[in-house]
Amino acid sequence: MQATDTKRRSKLACPDELNHHLRDGMRIMFGGFMGVGTPERLVAAILRHGARRLTLIGNDTAFPHSGVGPLIASGQVERVITSHIGTNPVTGRKMLAGQIAVELVPQGTLAERIRCGGAGLGGVLTPTGVGTMVAEGKMRQLIDGREYLLELPLRAELAILHAKRADQAGNLVYERAARNFNPLMALAADKVIAEVEEIVDTGEIDPDQVMTPGILVDHLILAESH
C-alpha cells in the first residue's frame, strides 16, 4: 500500500506555471461571486500572457477592476457563460456592441451544469426557467405532472480557483462565502490551478475539513501577500 513515509510531492508551482496551460480560444472556468473567491493573481497572469478569444465560465463578471473584470476590459474574452453581468457595465457595453457574446444562465442551473460536467452526468432536469426565455430550444420533460427543462453539462479546459488554504497534496479549504463555485469547477476542467493564501504540509488539514480533494487539483500558486 502506498507508503506514508515516502517523499511527498508538492503541487506548489511558480506563478508562471499558468502560462503552460493558456492558449487562444480556450474555455476557462473561474471561481468567485462578485470577485469574492476569484484568484486575482491568476487573472493578472492571463492578462500578462495575452491569450485571446477566451470563453469564460463563472457566476458573474464582477466589477471593471476586480474579479475577472479586467479580462473583460482587456478584450481577451470572446464569450461569457454566466448568470449576471449587471455589476460590470463594461460587459454590458461590449455585449450590446457585439464584441462579447453573453450566454445568461440561471445561477442554480449554472451550478448544476458545471456539476454535471464534473460528475460524468449527461444533464439534469430543472424547473428553473420553465415558461421563460431560458426554456427556448431546450428539451422539456414532464415528471409527475410538473414540467422541467433538460440542462446540459458544462466543462472547461482550465479552471482557476481561489482557496484560503491548501496542503502540498492540493487539498483545499475555502473561507466563508469565497467557496461558491470553486468546488464545483474543481471537478469540471481538464486542468485545475488553485491560487491559495497559505500552504501547509500534507497531513496538517483534518481530512474531514477538506472541501476539495487534492486529486482534483493539478497546481497550486501562492496568492501574493498583501
- Check residue 130 for interaction with other proteins (CB under 8 A): yes
Supply 149's cell numbers: 427543462
Distance CA 157, CA 190 (A): 5
Span interacting with other proteins, options 18-26, 39-47, 69-77, 124-132, rule CB under 8 A: 124-132
Considering the complex, state which of residue 19 and residue 141 has its C-beta at the smaller distance from its own copies: 141
Nearest distance from C-beta of residue 87 to other proteins, angstroms: 7
Distance CA 43, CA 52 (A): 13
Nearest distance from C-beta of residue 154 to its own copies, angstroms: 12
Q: How far is CA 64 from CA 71, 99, 156, in A?
A: 9, 16, 23
Single out the residue of 14, 101, 121, 215 in contact with its own copies (rule: CB under 8 A): 121
- Check residue 222 for interaction with other proteins (CB under 8 A): no
| Nearest residue to 46 (alpha-carbon basis) of 58, 34, 150 | 58
Distance CA 74, CA 71 (A): 5
Span interacting with other proteins, options 12-20, 46-54, 70-78, 176-184, rule CB under 8 A: 176-184
**Residue 22 class from Cβ within 10 Å (0-12 exposed, 13-18 middle, 19+ buried)?**
middle
- Check residue 107 for interaction with other proteins (CB under 8 A): yes
- Check residue 145 for interaction with other proteins (CB under 8 A): no
Single out the residue of 65, 127, 190, 215 in contact with its own copies (rule: CB under 8 A): 127
Q: How far does CA 198 lie from the centroid of its chain?
A: 20
Q: How far is CA 135 from CA 115, 125, 138, in A?
A: 20, 12, 6
- Residues between 162 and 191 with contacts to its own copies, criterion CB under 8 A: 173-176, 179
- Residues between 66 and 105 with contacts to other proteins, criterion CB under 8 A: 82-87, 92, 95-96, 102, 104
Binding stretches for its own copies (CB under 8 A): 112, 116, 120-127, 141, 143, 146, 148, 150, 152-153, 173-176, 179, 207-209
